[in-house]
Amino acid sequence: MQQALDAPSGRIEEPVGLPSISPGGYVSDLIVDVLRASGCRYVPLNPGSSFRGLHDSLVNHAGNRDPQLLLCMHEEIAVSLAHGYAKASGDVAVAAIHDLVGLMHASMAVYDAWCDRTPLLLLGGGGPAATNARRPIDWLHSAAVQAQLVRDYVKWDDEPADAQGLLDSVARGYQLAGTPPRGPVYVTLDADLQERPASGDAAVPDKRLRHPAAGPGAHPEALMAAARLLVAARLPVVVGGRVGLDPRATGALVGLVELLGAAYRDDRNVVAFPTDHPANLTGDRALLTEADAVLAVDLPDLRTVRGMPSSRDRARDGTRARPATLAAVTLDPLTPSSWSHAGQAPVPVDVPLLAEPITAVTQLHAAVEDLLSAEPRDARERRTRRVEELSARRDQLRARQQAAVSAAWNQVPIAPARLVAEVWEAVRDRPWLLTLRNTRSWPEGVWQFPGAGSYLGHSGGAGVGYGPGAAVGGALAARDRAQLGVAIIGDGDLLMAPGALWTATHYQIPLLMIVNNNRSFYNDEEHQHVVAQQRGRPEANAWIGMRLEHPAVDLATLARSFGAWAAGPVTHPDALAGALAGALRAVDDGQVALVDVHTAPA
Ligand SMILES: Cc1ncc(C[n+]2csc(CCOP(=O)(O)OP(=O)(O)O)c2C)c(N)n1
């Protein structure tokens, strides 16, 4: 990636007639003061009277700057925008949500953020709890313990009953969302309380109440057990997971992998290691079946390394449980859910390390170094040979991966692999952030990632409709550091929330969005094939109730209707480079550009 350029600022909707300094006269003004003091830059929202006090304060007290209000077409977009922004920036992100109906719209996006361990401070308008303050609509839109709706998939929620309690809870929300294991929190802001004049004794809480603590390190005994396991292994493999969002992870993982002479692979939908590193065997399906020791670093689902799982995995690898001894670093046991089964498959772990993952990897490095200082010479030689073998194995893997892309190169409809290769060629020499990518059909080894922080991963909860908002949120954080947000999105995902494009065009958030448009909710076509096979029924019917054809949606026109530059549908592979070049000229001009590409289902 090239050096970042000067960051553009985007459109600000300037309020008029404000005094140069607006005194904080209302409780909601003080809430905005807490947000500002906490470094909050944006509040995505769809408007609602349950937070009209807060809305007024954002505009007329804070002048719509730091934080700036970002209008979204749907609460799911507002929350997924915050989700993408938080993952790209590393910061706690805020969204405001109207009571009950807005929260119901938002709830899938909240679940995605919870599964993805993403730090969000969700501010929900609420009540008023005081019945004499309720308008007729408030009886429809308020509930006792409003947060009940999302309580099972937020880290914490609160519904404060007085002004100071409200300010304290917003501060505490910041702290809890940002403290590992991170996650979304939800604070109900009573509408009546928001709108009250601030009494003299309500004050912005001490900043130390907002500060998150660093996550814990690993227990020394567990650390030693993991270090011994990895040093003694014939073929140790390190697998990186959610740490792929934190740029600090790459140095720590590379250091440990090189010290051990281990192999490395990314977990599904994650990038934490440089693609061109000789130990990076991501995409090598046999690796985990051959490993005798695996270190899993912050994986949301350990079945991906342990095996033994779904019929689909068995069909792919031909394996049941993989025999390797497993050490796993995670903080997940600290936040179990009694409702969702996410991450709760019973996977045996030999050496559990309850620790903040990057801290634990750094600690492991030191422990392994100690052990290796007493290593006999023949063991060192074995390790050197292994590094050479792994490097050769990686070269062969890359050659196979390249051959697979070449074989599909001229395919019509366009192969997703060609699409990815062309997008990579188009953006490789500029500062990019990949905000979304194909989940099922990503061709490994084509896109050259420098490591963690360059790709935002997927939704977490596998909720389709996450993509459009998250792509815009990621592109917003990218814009602010003078990178270009690049999204490769499914047509089904885009069509669940296309209004996100308007938020991007309106606020001048440059974004390159390429639609991998197979004109189907194709993932589920595959399921109908499986059922048809199991039942001996015609697979030819798998497309029914899945395909987005007759008419195919004109995505370029849809994008233009939101103010974006658009091209497509691109149907021939040789037309891709030209369409992408046009899109890049548009984004260089500060626009949102969408390229609709008709691809083969894969
Ligand atoms: C909210 C939601 N509804 C339905 C699903 C089931 N589902 C999983 S993937 C998928 C298809 C998504 O289509 P698209 O984004 O076009 O990707 P494709 O599978 O075609 O590559 C669906 C409907 C889901 N995961 N989430």
Model pLDDT for residues 216-270, shown as the tens digit of each residue = 999 999 999 999 999 999 999 999 999 999 999 999 999 999 999 999 999 999 9
CB 19 within 8 A of CB 160: no
pLDDT at 412: 96
pLDDT at 312: 58
Q: Which atom in ligand 1 lies closest to the alpha carbon of residue 492?
A: 16
pLDDT at 441: 87
Distance 515 CA to ligand 1 centre (A): 14
Give CA separation, 579 vs 17, 102, 348, 515, 601, in Å: 45, 38, 49, 12, 21
pLDDT at 360: 98
Residues of the chain where predicted confidence (pLDDT) is lower than 50: 1-5, 318-319
Going by C-alpha positions, the residue among 600, 550, 601 that lies closest to residue 573 is: 600
pLDDT at 316: 55
**pTM metric for this prediction:** 0.95
Please state, in angstroms and rounded to a whole number, the distance separating the CA atoms of residues 412 and 572: 6
- Ligand 1 site, residue 491, Cβ cutoff 6 A: yes
Distance 588 CA to ligand 1 centre (A): 31
Distance 140 CA to ligand 1 centre (A): 32
pLDDT at 321: 57
- Ligand 1 site, residue 543, Cβ cutoff 6 A: no
The residue assigned the tokens 């009277």 is 49
CB 276 within 8 A of CB 261: no
pLDDT at 284: 95
pLDDT at 7: 53
Q: Which atom in ligand 1 lies closest to the alpha carbon of residue 490?
A: 15
Which stretch of DSSP H or E encloses residue 378? helix 377-407
Please state, in angstroms and rounded to a whole number, the distance separating the CA atoms of residues 577 and 595: 11
| Strands of the 263-266 sheet, one edge to the other | 263-266, 236-240, 293-297, 325-330, 351-354
- Ligand 1 site, residue 524, Cβ cutoff 6 A: yes
- Ligand 1 site, residue 157, Cβ cutoff 6 A: no
Q: Which atom in ligand 1 lies closest to the alpha carbon of residue 462?
A: 25
Distance 138 CA to ligand 1 centre (A): 35
- Ligand 1 site, residue 513, Cβ cutoff 6 A: no
Please state, in angstroms and rounded to a whole number, the distance separating the CA atoms of residues 300 and 303: 9
Which stretch of DSSP H or E encloses residue 195? helix 191-195
- Span 417-427, pLDDT tens digits: 999 999 999 99
**From atom 5 of ligand 1, which residue's Cα is the shortest distance away?**
464
